[in-house]
């Protein structure tokens, strides 16, 4: 019975000591949309909805899912580090509040209404975790069970989306007359697709439509789905399911979370639960269940989290590392990996033919692709969400470092043939994607710091001046800028080598040159 009692217990506020006021933002609408006193009466809420989110996290972490992992580490002071084993495995005792990615990211997915893939071996709590998210969103267990779509080889489009009403099928004179009995899950704000890699390719395409365009289509009838948080589970992320997952569907997944193994030291706890018949998902405390409005507010508040300029510049620098493939095209704009990929040529083969650059150090050679706009946007959203979850109104470097591996997990295709992975100390990155992407970011930051880009960013300054508008810019000012651009391009040219981060700078300079020379022409015509 003790366990039953403790399951109903939610962490006391503040869950982050020192962050007393939380993130609740003033909105006069609360005066007329919210009953009086609801905020004050609810201790969690008086600290802001970020506090409620943390309480939900700690309830799941402490009671619902036996998951004693803290892989999202934060340090307030220098942590103690230990080196263990022949492979010199590092162990850090984090000094700040740290979190389990397996619980944290599904929770952030819920409030950002994104799409999360939970991968890992059978019985590691992937589906349970997804179901708890549905319960946190206010659905009943019955609704959730009914709504979970279990992938299986015989799953048809009708199984997934719905059926035409039989009576209409007989009497209808046109397609418009056919009414579709849409499946209930389509209208839910939490969507769970269990074992999505067991869904046949054709049904995957129908699923893709719902995931990407947010509507379902059947027999010329369309069902508009609400914005929702998606949870997909897979035993094997690398395509080892019954069916190969189509690329486009994979691309729609925003974040990938790995279900880690069960720590055998906690087997006793598990046994205890089984013996007592305790099901945490049936005992979720009411104070950590989110209403639709609350999720909406959190969503809005997350978007208001600031990413400081310097941090943003660091992210830009990292993102700029992957698109360039110098021998991928003749004209500078087409010197991209994408260009080679579209031609059907193997990218590693083209990379191997490149000489003149240190392929061991140039991180561009470690990936087969660049990053899409969708990937950038997802990264930024989750960085903000993590900062919000931690009770901050500004994102920090660590937030970025923790988010990138999980968001880019399936988005950065690794070039395993890169000489980087041949190094004994780097071979592990062929299997450990999370650590690899984190390493990529660390290497990129090291380059960034070495170049002193926090202190000087001439292209950024030119862009900022341009963003202020050309109105009022005098002829001499515009000419001066054009000369600056030409000088900067001259300097890059003198450097003889073209590195990936310079690629975007060069294209930016070219664009700015075009705008300023056009402006100068217009000024002269005006005279």
Partner 1 sequence: MERVIPEGMRESLERNRSSLNSIFEYNRPANREPDYDDIFSLFYRMIIPVYEEGSGFTDDLLCGLFDTVLKLSGKGYIGKDGRFRAVEEKFFLMLRLFPGLLASEKNFISALYNGLFNLYSKSKDAMDNWSAKMILLRSNKDFDVFRRNGFILAWRYGITRYRMEALEMLHSLKNDDIRIIFDLENMTQPDIERFLLSLKNDPWVSCGDAEEKSGPVFLFADGFAGYGGHFKSIPDVFSSDGELFAADGTDIYRIFADSFGVELVHEPDISPGRGSGNGAGTVYGMTGKIVIAGKSYQLPGFSAGSIRSSASVSHTSAWTLQSSYKIFIAGIRTGNG
Q: What residues line the site for partner 1 (CB under 8 A)? A: 21, 24, 26-32, 35-37, 39-40
Q: Min. distance of Cβ 163 from partner 1 in angstroms?
A: 42
Q: Is the peptide bond before 402 cis (omega within 30 degrees of 0)?
A: no
User: DSSP readout, 246-260?
Assistant: PHHHHHT--EEEE-P
Q: How far is CA 308 from CA 35, 49, 384, 395, in A?
A: 36, 23, 11, 7
With respect to partner 1, which residue has the nearer C-beta, 28 or 467?
28
With respect to partner 1, which residue has the nearer C-beta, 9 or 300?
300
User: DSSP readout, 407-422?
Assistant: HSTTTS-B-TTSGGGG
With respect to partner 1, which residue has the nearer C-beta, 26 or 431?
26
Q: How far is CA 285 from CA 5, 56, 68, 90, 137, in A?
A: 11, 9, 21, 38, 12
Name which of 24, 27, 71 is nearest 50 in CA terms. 24
Residue with tokens 């819920």: 110
The first and second tokens of residue 84, run together, are 């263990």
With respect to partner 1, which residue has the nearer C-beta, 38 or 343?
38
Q: Min. distance of Cβ 17 from partner 1 in angstroms?
A: 17
Q: Min. distance of Cβ 38 from partner 1 in angstroms?
A: 9
Q: Min. distance of Cβ 50 from partner 1 in angstroms?
A: 15
- The neighbouring-strand residues paired with 99 are 72
With respect to partner 1, which residue has the nearer C-beta, 23 or 337?
23
Phi, psi at 438, each rounded to 5°: -65, -40
User: DSSP readout, 376-399?
Assistant: HHHHHHHHHHHHHHTT-SB--HHH
Q: Min. distance of Cβ 28 from partner 1 in angstroms?
A: 4
With respect to partner 1, which residue has the nearer C-beta, 287 or 316?
287
With respect to partner 1, which residue has the nearer C-beta, 31 or 373?
31
Q: Min. distance of Cβ 46 from partner 1 in angstroms?
A: 8
- The SS3 assignment for 401 reads helix
- The SS3 assignment for 457 reads coil
Q: Min. distance of Cβ 34 from partner 1 in angstroms?
A: 9
- The SS3 assignment for 172 reads coil
Q: Min. distance of Cβ 387 from partner 1 in angstroms?
A: 20
With respect to partner 1, which residue has the nearer C-beta, 27 or 213?
27
Name which of 476, 482, 467, 481 is nearest 523 in CA terms. 476
């Amino acid at each position: 019975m003790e366990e039953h009692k403790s399951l109903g217990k939610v962490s006391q506020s503040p869950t982050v000591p020192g962050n007393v006021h939380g993130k609740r933002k003033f909105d006069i609408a609360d005066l007329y949309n919210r009953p009086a006193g609801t905020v004050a009466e609810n201790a969690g809420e008086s600290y802001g909805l970020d506090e409620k989110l943390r309480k939900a996290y700690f309830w799941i972490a402490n009671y619902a899912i036996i998951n004693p992992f803290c892989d999202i580490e934060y340090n307030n002071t220098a942590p103690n580090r230990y080196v263990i084993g022949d492979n010199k495995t590092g162990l850090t005792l984090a000094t700040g509040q740290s979190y389990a990615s397996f619980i944290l990211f599904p929770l952030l997915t819920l409030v950002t209404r994104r799409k999360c893939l939970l991968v890992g071996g059978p019985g590691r709590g992937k589906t349970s975790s997804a179901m708890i998210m549905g319960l946190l969103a206010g659905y009943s267990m019955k609704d959730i069970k009914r709504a979970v779509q279990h992938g299986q080889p015989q799953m048809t489009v009708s199984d997934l989306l719905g059926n035409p009403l039989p009576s209409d099928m007989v009497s209808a004179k046109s397609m418009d007359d056919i009414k579709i009995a849409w499946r209930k899950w389509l209208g839910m704000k939490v969507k769970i697709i269990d074992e999505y890699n067991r869904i046949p390719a054709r049904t995957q395409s129908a699923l893709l439509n719902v995931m990407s365009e947010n509507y379902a289509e059947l027999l010329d009838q369309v069902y508009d789905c609400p914005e929702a948080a998606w949870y997909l589970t897979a035993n094997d992320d690398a395509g080892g399911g019954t069916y190969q997952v189509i690329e486009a569907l994979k691309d729609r997944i925003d974040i990938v979370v790995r279900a880690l193994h069960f720590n055998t030291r906690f087997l006793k706890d598990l046994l205890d639960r089984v013996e007592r018949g305790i099901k945490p998902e049936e005992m979720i405390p009411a104070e950590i269940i989110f209403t639709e409005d609350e999720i909406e507010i959190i969503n809005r508040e997350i978007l208001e989290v600031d990413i400081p300029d310097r941090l943003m510049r660091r992210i830009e620098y990292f993102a700029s590392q992957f698109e360039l493939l110098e021998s991928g095209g003749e004209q500078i704009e087409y010197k991209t990996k994408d260009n080679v990929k579209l031609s059907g040529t193997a990218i590693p083969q083209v990379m191997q033919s490149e000489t003149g650059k240190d392929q061991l150090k140039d991180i561009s050679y470690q990936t087969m692709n660049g990053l899409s706009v969708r990937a950038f946007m997802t990264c930024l959203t989750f960085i903000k969400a993590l900062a919000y979850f931690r009770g901050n109104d500004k994102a920090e470097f660590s937030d970025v470092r923790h988010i990138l591996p999980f968001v880019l997990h399936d988005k950065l295709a690794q070039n395993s043939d890169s000489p980087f992975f041949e190094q004994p100390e780097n071979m592990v990155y062929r299997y450990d994607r999370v650590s690899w992407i984190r390493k990529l970011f660390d290497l990129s930051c090291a380059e960034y710091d070495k170049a002193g880009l926090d202190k000087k960013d001439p292209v950024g300054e030119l862009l900022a001046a341009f963003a202020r508008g050309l109105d009022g810019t005098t002829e001499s000012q515009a000419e001066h800028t054009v000369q600056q651009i030409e000088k900067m391009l001259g300097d890059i040219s003198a450097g003889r080598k073209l590195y990936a981060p310079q690629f975007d700078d060069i294209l930016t300079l070219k664009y700015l040159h075009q705008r300023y020379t056009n402006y100068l022409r217009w000024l002269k015509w005006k005279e």
